[in-house]
Amino acid sequence: MLVAIALSVAVAPGCSKGPEVTSENIAEQAALIEQHDGGSVVWRVKPDGQVMALLKAPDGKPIEQGVTGTMTVKPKTGDPVTATLVPVEKSGGVLTATLPKLDDELTEVSYTLLAADKPIQGTLHLPKGGTEELFASAKVSAEAKLDDKKGPNGGVLQVVGEDTVEIVANDATGEVRVYLLDDNLQVVKPENRKIKIKLGLSGSGAEVIELSPHTEGLYFEGKLNAQIKPKKMTVVLVDGDVVHTALWGHHPGKVVVIGVGAPVIAIFVNTVVWVAPVVVVKHKHHHHHHHKGKGKGKGKWKVKAKAKGGSIKISF
């Protein structure tokens, strides 16, 4: 059962003031830009569920008329809710809708936009802070400069709050692991920290998975649908009552390419190389300070000595 919400746009009589968000300024408002084969979509979603969107043609020009669309959100409880995107008057093509409040650690929202009967479809994975929170974490990712680096097990890296994580998966089994890394990009145990990790994956399909701690505490593990071949990945790290969320590889102003020709995120490593850091570094007198909305994945782990020895090749 889908609950439909239609939002009408009313203009008060005698009010000539233009809309707050237009096609000219929407991208400046902590927006998320997704590039599809048929064009790009600029998204701004607030924590209260208020949505602003703009569809642009492949040449980058806003499509001002004739765009329709819907968004469907999977809430924590209850039936999915579908909202209709409707045009904002005098905005140059901006659409608006109202979703339920973003009250989950990660809310999955699927969307379909139609222009000249050509659909553009995708999925957003949104934290409680909406696109503004993703924009803030993108600044931290840019400062960390980890884009071209690999983790000790061959996986991709991402700063999430004050932590750096490595993500690796097996495309044959769907097994996925997330490791915590220190400042030297070596594996560390979470020790007494009560950590929970979720991944929101989007490619040929979409899903949200929650990972469980490995019995020996070496990593967090779960299982994904390997057929999705993710082109976009959102990482959630919950540490006690503090939640941090980051969109993998995202920087402020960077367009997230998710079209057919977009590259698959390089998380799939059929044979993982466990280098010496898998003999986990023991940390004494570990102090961890939370700063909500900040952090660079640096300065938490004071480890300078590098492990010696060769590597051991282990299959999943």
Give the CA distances from residue 73 to residues 5, 31, 97, 106, in Å, rounded to whole numbers and listed in that order: 11, 19, 12, 11
Model confidence band, residue 304 (pLDDT cutoffs 50, 70, 90):
very low
Q: How far is CA 191 from CA 54, 215, 218, 239, 288, in A?
A: 45, 13, 10, 12, 11
Looking at per-residue pLDDT, the higher value among 192 and 4 belongs to 192
5: pLDDT confidence band, cut at 50, 70 and 90? very low
Domain enclosing residue 219, as ranges: 132-315
Clarify whether residues 30 and 109 are in a common domain. Answer: yes
**Residue where a domain stops, chosen among 126, 148, 173:** 126
Mode of pairing for the β-strands spanning 175-181 and 163-169: antiparallel
Residue 295 near residue 161 (C-beta atoms within 8 A):
yes
pLDDT at residue 83 in the model: 98
- Separation of alpha carbons 153 and 33, rounded Å: 31
Same domain? 70 vs 169? no
Q: Is residue 8 part of a domain?
A: no
- Would you say 78 and 89 are in contact if contact means Cβ atoms under 8 Å apart? no
Domain assignment present for 17:
no
pLDDT score, position 272: 59
Q: What is the pLDDT of residues 71-104, one digit of tens each?
A: 999 877 889 999 999 999 999 999 999 999 999 9
Give the pLDDT score at 192.
85
Please say whether the beta carbons of 182 and 243 come within 8 A.
no
266 shares a domain with 249: yes
Is there a domain that residue 19 lies in?
no
| Percent of the residues in the chain that have a pLDDT greater than 70, as a whole number | 80
Which residue carries 């009408």 as its tokens?
Answer: 8
Domain stop point among 74, 104, 126? 126
> What pLDDT score was predicted for residue 71?
98
9, part of any domain? no
What band does 17 get if pLDDT is binned at 50, 70 and 90? low
Within a domain: 7: no
One domain for residues 93 and 142: no
Q: What is the pLDDT of residue 208?
A: 95
> Can you give the pTM of this predicted structure?
0.81
Mean pLDDT of the chain: 83
**Mean pLDDT on 132-136:** 95
* pLDDT digits 0-9 by tens, 147-158: 889 999 999 999
> In sequence order, what are the residues at sequence separation of 6 or more whose Cβ sits closer than 8 angstroms to the Cβ of residue 98?
5, 7, 49, 50, 51, 83
Using one digit for the tens of pLDDT, what is the confidence trace for 264-290?
999 998 655 444 444 444 444 333 344
112 and 157 together in one domain = no
Q: What is the pLDDT of residue 169?
A: 93
Per-residue model confidence as pLDDT tens digits over 161-197? 999 999 999 888 889 999 999 999 999 998 888 999 9
